[in-house]
Structure 1
Amino acid sequence: MSKPSLTGKELRAIGYPEGPVISVAMSTMQKAYRHESKEYALNILKELLAAPHDYVSDKTLGIIAQQLLPKPAAMEGADISLNQTGIHFNIFGQEHIEEGALHQMYQAAKLPVAVAGALMPDAHSGYGLPIGGVLATDNAVIPYGVGVDIGCRMCLSIFDLPPKELTDREAFFIRELGAATLFGSGAQFDRSPDHAVMENRLFYEMPLLKRLHGRAWKQLGSSGSGNHFAEFGIVTITEKDEALGLDAGSYIGFLTHSGSRALGATIANHYTKLAISKRRLPQEAKNLAWLGLDEEAGAEYWLAMNLAGDYASACHHVIHDKIAKQLGRKPVKQVENHHNFAWKELLDGKEVIVHRKGATPAGKEVLGIIPGSMTADGFIVKGKGTTAAVNSASHGAGRKMSRTRAIQSVTDKQFRDELKKFGVKLLGGGLDESPFAYKDIHTVMQSQKALVAIVGSFTPKIVKMDGAAHRSWKKKKDETVAE
């Protein structure tokens, strides 16, 4: 049976009020009751409307019920103080983490809604939560605890092809890498690819998303700028692991790193402004302002964040499908994980909202990819479900230099020599993303041995990044870029 195709008009007809509850109800029913009839779904919604209090604790329908209950007194403009002693959180690889990131995490730990936290060994300063920060909260979501690039993720396709082809047919792989995606902050395709994510009803029901639909479609399958990349390399499996399911050996891998483009950035900035207006925190902590999931704005953000995550995943799948088609075969395994996101998870038997800003989910047996740099190996990992880290791990090696410092301190020759040393062909990219700007990935992995187990490695060989002129490593080293 097909999923119930509910409309806003039908929900209004049975008494649902105008507002976010319409979008919330439609999205929830289409996901949770996709195998039921429309009549069945409408009957449930009628019962919920008649007695929303009865459904508040329901894991599926609770989010709809909360929208129907009378709202608590508005907290608009309320001054909120931080707790003097914050929650305890564990730090992994503290000796390699800059003071600014530690300070930001200590600030986050003092939030009244904070429940648990951890700091990953690749951590460095960001906005709101530090990059590499993990924070669990009680019924609250922090837009800048998620980050601007919502749902940014890694995706690895492993092909049963001999790695020797990367050198024997280098021109072919370079051509296909260039054709598979676009780089650059404003990059858009002239012709948009088709994908089911663009038909999500939220694009038509939520005014903010409706305005973003056209641009999001034109950017579907693009990769952005900064540290985003697409690269071919060698996947090495030393012994078979049940979670990964691949025999020991060497394979060709195609790895991408990018997020939700302008869609995610606009959602993040819009709801951060709303959160800041509702919770006036001390100036140094204002970017940690939160929205309650029982508030209209919080429920809206949650839906929009999840859509941005689905969109980011779709971008990767569009790119990987192009590569698979040109290679003439399907991958034998695909591993995908995201960061810059918030999840509903159980912690000590209680549901909490876990923010992972630049941190990889590492629940028991959960697979993920942790990249190094354009010359350093990345790793396919399996989570150990370590509660002390809130079931998380690092999302990469982590920066040790700002973009400005990297451009000012690394020479063109050093950069070229490093690429040659490791046999890496670079297409685009600049000094700001040079290997010297990143921490030693092996040191980072050593610091999180208790969090993940390594089940394979990825060695970059042909790397494509944004080649914007202002980031070109051929430019003078005294030129700077925005942080």
Structure 2
Amino acid sequence: MAKLKLTGKQLRNIGYPEGPVISIAMNIMEKSFRHLPEADALEILSSILQSPNQYAHDGVLGKIAEALLPKPKVGGDEIPLMPKGIEFNVFGASGIEQGAMQQMNTAVKVPIAVAGALMPDAHQGYGLPIGGVLATDNAVIPYGVGVDIGCRMCLSVFDIDPKELTAREQYFTRELNEATLFGSGSMFDKPFDHEIMERKEFDELGLLKGLQTRAWKQLGSSGSGNHFVEFGIVEISEQDQVLNIPAGKYVGLLSHSGSRALGANIANHFTKVAKEKRRLPSEASNLAWLDLNEQEGMEYWLAMNLAGDYASACHHVIHDKIARQLGRRPLKMVENHHNFAWKEQWEGKEVIVHRKGATPAGKDVLGIIPGSMTAPGFIVKGKGEMASVNSAAHGAGRQMSRTVALKSITHNALNDMLAKHGVKLLGGGLDEAPFAYKNIFEVMNAQKQLVDTVGLFYPKIVKMDGAMPKQWKKKNRDFQESGDLMGE
């Protein structure tokens, strides 16, 4: 008889709130009711959820009930959510999972919410859904930014014939292998010099002072999860005045990574501080905020911006190293954050716009929206659409969790797909296979009113972390160092 195996998504779908209770419930049911049919197990869990008091003294199920029951008040009275949240627009609603919609519906009820939108690549995350955009009144939500602060796309376009990628494949492969390090704990033996490491915030903020050495050793590394560095073909069908690259085909170098352990530690520290200062209902606990007029809010803002600049520096170190090896300077560099908070104007007032897994798309703002290791990425120009709070998708978005992908995708299927598209993969795993992602063309079609496409990038030599997730045994450590493991 097959052993019971539950997923967090199943529990969330029957109403279980985010937090430790999900892990507690899964562990107890899989250990004590391992031969119970899945439907019966979910029925029991649903019953506990509806009436936790009835199970509070049960020798086994009582632990689940205890995790569901309200905790004693700490940090002042609970701050209620607004009965009806602010209105927000959803783009590509047919492709967005219910969990992400529920999270967004909760986010727009926090009393500091001013405006919001949900992007077509949205899926469930922590606090704000990935693909969620939320503007707030003079307050910043650390988990509205995400764990991988300043996660970023960076594209260098080189005036090199794309045929070189095939003719000199070994050369370009070597350059990718030598340019950066992958893996959640990766660090360089000999750190690189960069002005970012001399920033005064490292001396002025106690938290950052203790993170400086590790940040220096990780400068120019790329992390794990869906982070990558890749060579590919850039196609410009006609010259755009903003992008300003003549029509033609070029070699492109595209990278995706964030602020490594520096950003993760900042996010975790200030999320804890925010939760201690503002107690919200359990379903909204990860949306705790810091006022920008208070000391902790000002410190987070400084730390967040440092982490964003650090993420940018990591990309520039990689691109500069490869440019020197190629003996070329790029014709153009296009880059953008997609896990960050910005001070912007909204209806004549300054607000804080959180884009968690969303690309800035103000009028004529350039950005990159990647597909997958075989699907093209899109070089885009924002239209400044107020309905999306000047935002767009940050990628194709996952349609399979990593667990599902590892169970359902085969190496043969992945290899066939790579061969079909002429892509060489260095590292990477089944959890990042193209099948795990939504159709990028459908995502782009759902946001035609948000961005114009001014160029395409076709991956050809893709470098990713080669470590296979071991049933998420190290999930917490990996998540802390690379929010993108969870799509953050």
State the distance in 1 between where 2:352 and 2:77 align.
23
State the distance in 2 between where 1:459 and 1:339 align.
21
Aligned to 1:205: 204
State the distance in 2 between where 1:85 and 1:144 align.
22
Q: Which amino acid aligns with 2:434?
A: P
Aligned to 1:138: 137
Alignment of 1:14-29 (within 5 A): none
Aligned to 1:47: none
Do residues 308 (structure 1) and 307 (structure 2) align?
yes
Aligned to 2:450: 451
Q: Which amino acid aligns with 2:377?
A: G
* Displacement over 6 Å in runs of 4+: 478-481
State the distance in 2 between where 1:248 and 1:409 align.
41
- 1:205 CA drift (Å): 1.2
Q: Which amino acid aligns with 2:435?
A: F
Give CA-to-partner distance per residue, 1:72-102, whole Å, 9 cap, x none. Answer: xxx9433100011000000000000000000
Quick check: 1:87–1:114 contact (8 Å CA) kept in 2? Answer: yes
Alignment of 1:393-472 (within 5 A): 393-470=392-469
State the distance in 2 between where 1:410 and 1:479 align.
17
State the distance in 2 between where 1:453 and 1:407 align.
35
State the distance in 1 between where 2:139 and 2:472 align.
41
Q: Which amino acid aligns with 1:248?
A: A
State the distance in 2 between where 1:415 and 1:372 align.
16
Give CA-to-partner distance per residue, 1:430-467, whole Å, 9 cap, x none. Answer: 00000000000000000000000000000000000001
Gap change, CA 1:388 and 1:412, over 3 Å in 2:
same
Gap change, CA 1:86 and 1:470, over 3 Å in 2:
closer
Gap change, CA 1:438 and 1:480, over 3 Å in 2:
farther
Quick check: 1:408–1:479 contact (8 Å CA) kept in 2? Answer: no
Unaligned runs of 5+ in 1: 1-74, 472-477
Do residues 357 (structure 1) and 356 (structure 2) align?
yes
Do residues 291 (structure 1) and 297 (structure 2) align?
no
Alignment of 1:220-259 (within 5 A): 220-259=219-258
Q: Secondary structure at the match of 2:210?
A: helix
Do residues 162 (structure 1) and 157 (structure 2) align?
no
Q: Which amino acid aligns with 1:88?
A: E
How many residue pairs get matched?
A: 403
Aligned to 2:98: 99
Give CA-to-partner distance per residue, 1:323-349, whole Å, 9 cap, x none. Answer: 100000100000000111000000010
Aligned to 2:336: 337
Q: Secondary structure at the match of 2:134?
A: strand
State the distance in 2 between where 1:461 and 1:317 align.
21
Give CA-to-partner distance per residue, 1:239-296, whole Å, 9 cap, x none. Answer: 0000000100000000000000000000000000000011110011100000000110
Q: Which amino acid aligns with 1:460?
A: P
Alignment of 1:117-128 (within 5 A): 117-128=116-127
State the distance in 1 between where 2:426 and 2:472 align.
21
Give CA-to-partner distance per residue, 1:210-254, whole Å, 9 cap, x none. Answer: 000000000000000000000000000000000000100000000
State the distance in 2 between where 1:251 and 1:77 align.
59
Gap change, CA 1:131 and 1:479, over 3 Å in 2:
closer
Q: Secondary structure at the match of 1:388?
A: helix
State the distance in 1 between where 2:170 and 2:414 align.
22
State the distance in 1 between where 2:83 and 2:157 align.
49
State the distance in 1 between where 2:282 and 2:403 align.
26
Aligned to 1:31: none
Aligned to 2:181: 182
Do residues 116 (structure 1) and 107 (structure 2) align?
no
State the distance in 1 between where 2:98 and 2:379 align.
29
Q: Which amino acid aligns with 1:170?
A: E
Gap change, CA 1:480 and 1:434, over 3 Å in 2:
farther
Quick check: 1:78–1:278 contact (8 Å CA) kept in 2? Answer: no
State the distance in 2 between where 1:479 and 1:423 align.
31
Aligned to 2:382: 383
Q: Secondary structure at the match of 1:280?
A: coil
Do residues 172 (structure 1) and 175 (structure 2) align?
no
State the distance in 2 between where 1:298 and 1:200 align.
19
State the distance in 2 between where 1:454 and 1:480 align.
40
Aligned to 2:263: 264
State the distance in 2 between where 1:409 and 1:291 align.
41
State the distance in 2 between where 1:236 and 1:257 align.
19
State the distance in 2 between where 1:144 and 1:242 align.
37
Q: Which amino acid aligns with 1:331?
A: P
State the distance in 2 between where 1:218 and 1:140 align.
32
Q: Which amino acid aligns with 1:308?
A: A
Quick check: 1:404–1:481 contact (8 Å CA) kept in 2? Answer: no
- 1:481 CA drift (Å): 7.7
Give CA-to-partner distance per residue, 1:353-401, whole Å, 9 cap, x none. Answer: 0000000000000000000000000000000000000000000000000
State the distance in 2 between where 1:481 and 1:133 align.
27
State the distance in 1 between where 2:259 and 2:122 align.
22
Aligned to 1:475: none
State the distance in 2 between where 1:76 and 1:333 align.
50
Quick check: 1:403–1:481 contact (8 Å CA) kept in 2? Answer: no
Q: Which amino acid aligns with 1:380?
A: I
Q: Which amino acid aligns with 1:109?
A: V
Percent of residue pairs identical: 71
- 1:470 CA drift (Å): 3.4
Aligned to 1:153: 152
Quick check: 1:407–1:480 contact (8 Å CA) kept in 2? Answer: no
TM-score, scaled relative to structure 2: 0.82
State the distance in 2 between where 1:446 and 1:394 align.
11
State the distance in 2 between where 1:179 and 1:106 align.
45
State the distance in 2 between where 1:403 and 1:288 align.
24
Unaligned runs of 5+ in 2: 1-73, 476-485
- 1:469 CA drift (Å): 3.8
- 1:479 CA drift (Å): 8.9
State the distance in 1 between where 2:393 and 2:472 align.
31
State the distance in 1 between where 2:469 and 2:274 align.
34
Quick check: 1:408–1:480 contact (8 Å CA) kept in 2? Answer: no
State the distance in 1 between where 2:313 and 2:472 align.
35
Q: Which amino acid aligns with 2:152?
A: R
Quick check: 1:424–1:463 contact (8 Å CA) kept in 2? Answer: yes
Aligned to 1:33: none
TM-score, scaled relative to structure 1: 0.82
